[in-house]
Structure 1
Amino acid sequence: MTAHDELLTFLTTTLGPSGVLCDDVDIARYRIDWAGAQGGIPLAVARPATPEQVAEILGYCHRNDIPVVPQGGGSGLVEAALPDRDTPELVISLERLNGIRHVDPINFSMSVDAGCILQTIKDAAEAEDCFFPLTLGAQGSCQIGGNIATNAGGLNVLRYGMMRQLVLGVEVALPDGRLLCDMKALHKNNTGYDLKQLFIGAEGTLGIVTGAVIKLFPRPQVTRTALIGCPDVESVLKLYAQSRRSCCDLLSAFELIPRICLELAIEVAPDLPDPLDEGHPVYILMEVAASGPVNLDGMIEALFEIGIENGWINDGVLATSDHQAKQLWRIREAMLEGQQRRGEHLRTDVSLPLSALSEFHHRAQLSMEETSPECTVIAYGHVGDGNLHFNVLPPPTLEQEAKRSLLHELELQLFDIVAEFSGSISAEHGIGRAKQAPFLETLTAPEHEIMRGIKRQIDPRGMMSPGRILPATHD
């Protein structure tokens, strides 16, 4: 019996026939992500249904030097969860480990399995008059374990923080097959090293998150959504600073949308109306929410008056119904599909100090257009937390090889400018394989040494997601 046969026998015995997939047709969807990136052929796809099964699989793989890659909902954008193209790996899908363990509306916490879909969690929180704030375009398919492993961001970071700020406790299957259980639902716990933070954002390189305790918040009773047309990015940032003051701590989203993105959205969804009478260079999609009796309309109207008086606002519309608000948010969703339909393009996820964002935007756009005058720059994002998705559509007439060469050149130029502004090349998408090379260039010697030391201590054989974040080793 070959080593591969022994692995399949072990998996079938441990998980049952429905817990193991080997057929090419069955494993096809585990080899591709939302962005269309293609992975290699895995040894198999294991689908454990309990944390203990995850740990048992990792223990077997640890003893037999079998590389493993955990997989969530497939919505990642840096190729961290795709099976390697050269070295066959075992894919461990958490899709069957998908229950909600406990909701505590008094403690404002929820215990969940790692494979639980984000939207399911949000619905369960709402049923208890609570709110889980992580909001992503992929929330109907992404899994909370993947959100934790990638330290997901999304639309509400400026008010509630990244995933890192929303986790109270974790349960993790370690590379050697042990189960680390730190599922305390404590809002304050200052007892030594905060071990859960090692696994949040580690992209599956240190272990597999099997469960978590997450924070809940009071469910907003009143929400107001507005779309605002602005003359330029500088005006947007001034308006944001004023919004933080005028709207107290109730501002939950502040999204920059250039005109090209609105046009892409309408191209995908022709039933979407152009929301304002005239087109504007940039728009802001903002949301303010409160869980008590607060006059949000008055806040936003006062903000509009200040913005118009200072020349930061050209025009705007305040949604007067849930349907109108959903229509405005459809713009944000449809514009992503519009980009995807344009084919291969430069997709980045940079982070800048807010005070530098306008100058960076100007410098970066000039740099892209100087190198490729026929390219189309699409720079949008979460202004409130300094996260700009600076994307570039290449000229459509370019041959595939020339297109990829141009996009690589533009990415290097962009990252150089990010470094000049002391920014980050990844605000929320992570590193994975796709951004490993530029990431390694940004590391100082102490940072690299500490990261490598953590990896070596927890995963000494280098079997957990090898080649993601850090280069693969076989210590």
Structure 2
Amino acid sequence: MDTLVAQLAGVVGAAQVITAPADLAPYVTDWRGRYQGAVRCVVRPGSTAEVSAVMALCAAARVPVVPQGGNTSLCGAATPDASGAAVIISLSRMNRILAVDPENNTISVEAGCTLLEVQAAARALDRLFPLSLASEGTCQIGGNLSTNAGGVQVLRYGNTRELTLGLEVVLASGEVWDGLRGLRKDNTGYDLKQLFIGAEGTLGIITAAVLKLFPLPKQQTTCWLNVRSPAAAVDLLNRAKTSFDAQLTAFELISAVSLDLVLRHIPDTRPPTPPSPWYVLAEFSEADPARVEAWLADCLEVGAVSDGALAQSGEQARALWVLRECISEAQKIEGISIKHDVAVPVSAIPAFLERADAALNDAFPGIRVVAFGHVGDGNLHYNLSKADAQDNAAFLACQPSVNRIVHDTVHALKGSISAEHGLGQLKRDEIRRYKSALELDLMQRIKGALDPDGRMNPGKVL
């Protein structure tokens, strides 16, 4: 047996070290099926102390490590390279809710808890953990933190960075930084937790976190609205924010093409309104439903929306959310596509869609644009393919040219080529075109200080 593998088994137990190729397969392939890697083994520690010991052994052997949570990354961030040199450290066994403090509105959790488990633990004490993603049943908090996940309620509550008060992190050396503090004010120097949030496991392994909670909304109103254009959606967003302010908790933009894919591939779905070029899915929390209904009537009267459906029950609201949350799954069933997760100022969303659509149609006649996302915070998922799946193999070979058109358009509008999915290995090289030399150098210096041997999730981000 490999000496390191034997040492790792001595720390976590032989049953928690995976080496058989068939058992390794789920860990070395990304969710989209685009990246395939190889590893020495997968280690499944059950505590922070075990993570620390595993990291110390890997440091002594100068072996690279790849932290992995639910393996739901869309950018290949949790997939190892093909060398087979790395060890995957899976946090899935570290799935304990450590503490819930309703009076401080915080919850302390291990990194292997799924997002759904954290939401449920908060809800059991009449609290809300507002991070909400389509993959919440399988994605893990450690991965959410490592990618600074966003989701549908960023508009009201912020992304994962804003929802985090404290972290516990195991460094490349095996040292443990205990920053598990539930403080909203702590002005005692550098805010170290921010280095690890969004770093995609390239600086250390997040093993636990203290997260913010909020009062659980007692009443939510969900509506599906027909709008004529993205510009009309942005106008409607500002109408809603003016009337409801923080009671507007989600505002999603969905194209007709996106909805059509869901209706085609996801069972038991149906359109809630007559066809429209674009739709908005809006959610209001703790707002008087009669007031929302009156606001919608006014929007219809002035032409801000052309039609709409107001959920009359929780079941109807969930059915509307399925139409939004299953777009990515429907795309996966339809076939592979060139995906983009971009952010621009909210006011620039119409310009981005107009410019990018036109440029891509000129360069690639017959291209199909699947555009949807969190218009409330300027984050769009902009995915491209050919309508005939047989044409996609040739189209995918054009990805560098497609990316250049999309990302140059984003950059010209002062946007970001990654809003919430991270860089991983998918955008590692692409980001060099858009970040300044100084910014990249500063990132490299931080990486060098915390991971001088470059062993933490190599080949990702930088």
**TM-score bin, normalised by smaller chain:** over 0.9
Mapped to 2, the partners of 1:399 and 1:433 lie a distance apart of 25
Report the more deviating stretch, 163-172 or 51-60: 51-60
Q: Is the 8 A contact 1:255 1:383 kept in 2?
A: yes
Residue in 1 aligned with 2:30? 33
Residue in 1 aligned with 2:237? 240
- Is 1:337 aligned to residue 329 of structure 2? yes
Residue in 1 aligned with 2:309? 317
2:209 to 207, 212, 215: 212
Q: Could you say what secondary structure the match of 1:248 adopts?
A: helix
Q: Is the 8 A contact 1:247 1:299 kept in 2?
A: no
Q: Is the 8 A contact 2:8 2:57 kept in 1?
A: no
Relative to the length of structure 1, the TM-score reads 0.95
Q: Is the 8 A contact 1:259 1:280 kept in 2?
A: yes
Cα–Cα, structure 1 residues 444 and 38, in superposed 2: closer, same or farther, change >3 Å? closer
Q: Could you say what secondary structure the match of 1:356 adopts?
A: helix
- Deviation of residue 39 (structure 1)? 2.3
2:121 to 120, 124, 132: 124
Q: Is the 8 A contact 2:75 2:425 kept in 1?
A: yes
Q: Could you say what secondary structure the match of 2:206 adopts?
A: strand
Residue identity (%): 41
Mapped to 2, the partners of 1:424 and 1:88 lie a distance apart of 33
- Deviation of residue 86 (structure 1)? 3.0
Mapped to 2, the partners of 1:406 and 1:310 lie a distance apart of 44
Mapped to 1, the partners of 2:327 and 2:425 lie a distance apart of 26
Residue in 2 aligned with 1:188? 185
Q: Is the 8 A contact 1:377 1:392 kept in 2?
A: yes
Q: CA RMSD in A?
A: 1.3
Q: Could you say what secondary structure the match of 1:328 adopts?
A: helix
Residue in 2 aligned with 1:430? 422
Q: Could you say what secondary structure the match of 1:106 adopts?
A: coil
Amino acid at match of 1:298: A
Q: Is the 8 A contact 1:246 1:299 kept in 2?
A: no
- Is 1:230 aligned to residue 222 of structure 2? no
Cα deviation 1:71-98 (Å, max 9, x = unaligned): 0001111111101113521000000111
Mapped to 1, the partners of 2:364 and 2:387 lie a distance apart of 8
- Is 1:10 aligned to residue 7 of structure 2? yes
Amino acid at match of 1:284: V
Amino acid at match of 2:408: D
Residue in 2 aligned with 1:420? 412
Q: Is the 8 A contact 2:110 2:209 kept in 1?
A: yes
- Deviation of residue 236 (structure 1)? 0.5
- Is 1:392 aligned to residue 375 of structure 2? no
- Is 1:272 aligned to residue 269 of structure 2? yes
Q: Could you say what secondary structure the match of 1:436 adopts?
A: coil
- Deviation of residue 324 (structure 1)? 0.6
Report the more deviating stretch, 308-317 or 200-209: 308-317
Cα deviation 1:169-197 (Å, max 9, x = unaligned): 00000000100000011121111100000
Q: Could you say what secondary structure the match of 1:9 adopts?
A: helix
Mapped to 1, the partners of 2:322 and 2:148 lie a distance apart of 25
Residue in 1 aligned with 2:75? 78
Q: Is the 8 A contact 1:345 1:407 kept in 2?
A: no
Residue in 1 aligned with 2:458? 466
Amino acid at match of 2:57: Y
Cα deviation 1:71-126 (Å, max 9, x = unaligned): 00011111111011135210000001110000111110011101011101100100
Cα–Cα, structure 1 residues 397 and 143, in superposed 2: closer, same or farther, change >3 Å? closer
- Deviation of residue 301 (structure 1)? 2.1
Aligned length: 462
Q: Is the 8 A contact 1:264 1:334 kept in 2?
A: no
Mapped to 2, the partners of 1:114 and 1:367 lie a distance apart of 42
Residue in 2 aligned with 1:158? 155
Mapped to 2, the partners of 1:221 and 1:313 lie a distance apart of 27
Residue in 1 aligned with 2:344? 352
**Stretches of structure 1 lacking an aligned partner (at least 5 in a row):** 471-475
Report the more deviating stretch, 297-306 or 147-156: 297-306
Q: Could you say what secondary structure the match of 1:26 adopts?
A: helix
Q: Is the 8 A contact 1:266 1:334 kept in 2?
A: no
- Is 1:289 aligned to residue 281 of structure 2? no
Mapped to 2, the partners of 1:376 and 1:39 lie a distance apart of 27
**Stretches of structure 2 lacking an aligned partner (at least 5 in a row):** none
Mapped to 2, the partners of 1:340 and 1:72 lie a distance apart of 21
Amino acid at match of 1:338: A
Q: Is the 8 A contact 2:385 2:392 kept in 1?
A: no
Residue in 2 aligned with 1:473? none
- Deviation of residue 32 (structure 1)? 1.6
Mapped to 1, the partners of 2:142 and 2:158 lie a distance apart of 17
Cα deviation 1:252-296 (Å, max 9, x = unaligned): 1100011111111111234222211x2011000010112xxx41x
Amino acid at match of 1:141: T
- Deviation of residue 403 (structure 1)? 2.2
Residue in 2 aligned with 1:249? 246
Mapped to 2, the partners of 1:372 and 1:303 lie a distance apart of 42
1:328 to 320, 325, 329: 320
Cα–Cα, structure 1 residues 172 and 271, in superposed 2: closer, same or farther, change >3 Å? same
Mapped to 1, the partners of 2:271 and 2:338 lie a distance apart of 27
Q: Could you say what secondary structure the match of 1:453 adopts?
A: helix
Cα deviation 1:128-167 (Å, max 9, x = unaligned): 1101000000000011011001100001001000100011
Mapped to 1, the partners of 2:224 and 2:149 lie a distance apart of 25
Q: Could you say what secondary structure the match of 2:416 adopts?
A: coil
